[in-house]
Amino acid sequence: MRNPIGWAALTAFSLGFFLFIYAPLLVIIGYSFNSNPVNMMIWEHFTLDWYRGLLGLAERVSDNNNRAAYIESTDQMFKALRISLTVAGCTTAISTVIGTATAIALSRYKFAAKGFYNGFLMLPMMMPDIVLGIGLLIFFVTIGMQLSLLTIIIGHCTFLTSYVFIIVQARIAGLDPALEEASADLGASEWLTLRKVLLPQLAPGILGGALLAFVISMDDLVITYFVAGTDSTTLPVFIFGMVRRGVKPEINAIATMMIVASVIIAALGLWLRSRKTD
């Protein structure tokens, strides 16, 4: 028996909850189409100018109107995006391989101090970003390493490996150990078992870990801020630089495009997962 009042309260609560979570995003998306260049809180009319300007498809509105230039050149933004994608791509590849290998090793082989390694791998995840960032910076300076793309990639790998490790480990924990035994029983060497049974079975976990690593790496500001060289500004650092001089309409457009990209990546991940798990 449903209690109508309770049911209505639950519905209201659920709606309120989702509104609370998504309202900020909706506001940004809305403002990104507002043509008012001065005060984006006041709706003028619908425009795609901010997007055109960002993508270099039109002369920038702000230049036209002879107002203050709001945004560094489109070229700079695309360069930052390219750097972010490079960093995220490399980081994802490296941390996925190391994280997966570590998870398999820790769950399938016996060796000393296993618990110690397990705990140790969690630590970078729980460490405050700012501490990790400062630590990395001091470390790179101490060993005399030039801050560059490479230092960002190393910095990201230090904590993203833990994320991949934890996700893949959870997947292994739910796996029937008899699967690998069955493979060995049917004549497959350890290598063949890894390739034909273990990795395909872990694929959803590995993929999930990789996507998470990619998204976090794309998004990271704090650690990147500390270890980025002058010539390696990532997209978050670039946006942060813009925002420091005031939130401009173009920012809303960038944010909206990033939201769309994230949704596409998440949807892709979910789709791949649903295909892989049987």
Partner 1 sequence: MALLEIRKARREFITPEGGRLAALDGVDLDVAANEFVTLLGPSGCGKTTLLRSISGFETLDAGTIRLDGADLSALPPFRRPVNTVFQSYALFGHMTVARNVGYALEVRGEDRQARSRAVGEALEKVGLTGMGARKPSQLSGGQRQRVALARAIIGQPRILLLDEPLSALDRNLRQQMQIELKTLQHTLGIAFVFVTHDQEEALTMSDRIVVMRAGQIEQIGTPRTIYRQPKNRFVAEFIGETNLFSLTIDQIDAGLAHARTAEGLQLRLPAGGAKVGDKALAVLRPSDFTLSDQGIAATVTKAVYLGSDLYLFAQPAVGGPEIRVTARDSAQAPQVGAVVHLAYDPAAAHVLEAA
Where do contacts with partner 1 occur on this chain (CB under 8 A)? Answer: 176, 178-179, 181-189, 192, 196-197, 200-201, 203, 276-278
SS3 46: strand
Tell me the backbone φ, ψ of residue 153, rounded to 5 degrees.
-60, -45
Is 155 in contact with 136 (CB distance < 8 Å)? yes
Least Å from the CB of residue 271 to partner 1: 16
Least Å from the CB of residue 208 to partner 1: 16
Least Å from the CB of residue 115 to partner 1: 15
Tell me the backbone φ, ψ of residue 166, rounded to 5 degrees.
-65, -40
Is 71 in contact with 54 (CB distance < 8 Å)? yes
199 vs 268, beta carbon nearer partner 1: 199
Least Å from the CB of residue 184 to partner 1: 4
12 vs 173, beta carbon nearer partner 1: 173
Least Å from the CB of residue 182 to partner 1: 4
Nearest CA-CA partner of 84 in 242, 232, 252, 198: 232
Tokens standing for 205? 């976990």
Cα gap 175→132, rounded to integer Å: 33
16 vs 200, beta carbon nearer partner 1: 200
93 vs 184, beta carbon nearer partner 1: 184
157 vs 198, beta carbon nearer partner 1: 198
Least Å from the CB of residue 249 to partner 1: 48
Percentages (nearest 5) of helix, strand, coil residues in the chain: 75, 0, 25
Cα gap 271→278, rounded to integer Å: 13
Tokens standing for 76? 């700079």
Least Å from the CB of residue 199 to partner 1: 10
In the numeric block, the tokens 């034909």 are attached to 196
8 vs 199, beta carbon nearer partner 1: 199
Nearest CA-CA partner of 138 in 150, 151, 125: 151
193 vs 232, beta carbon nearer partner 1: 193
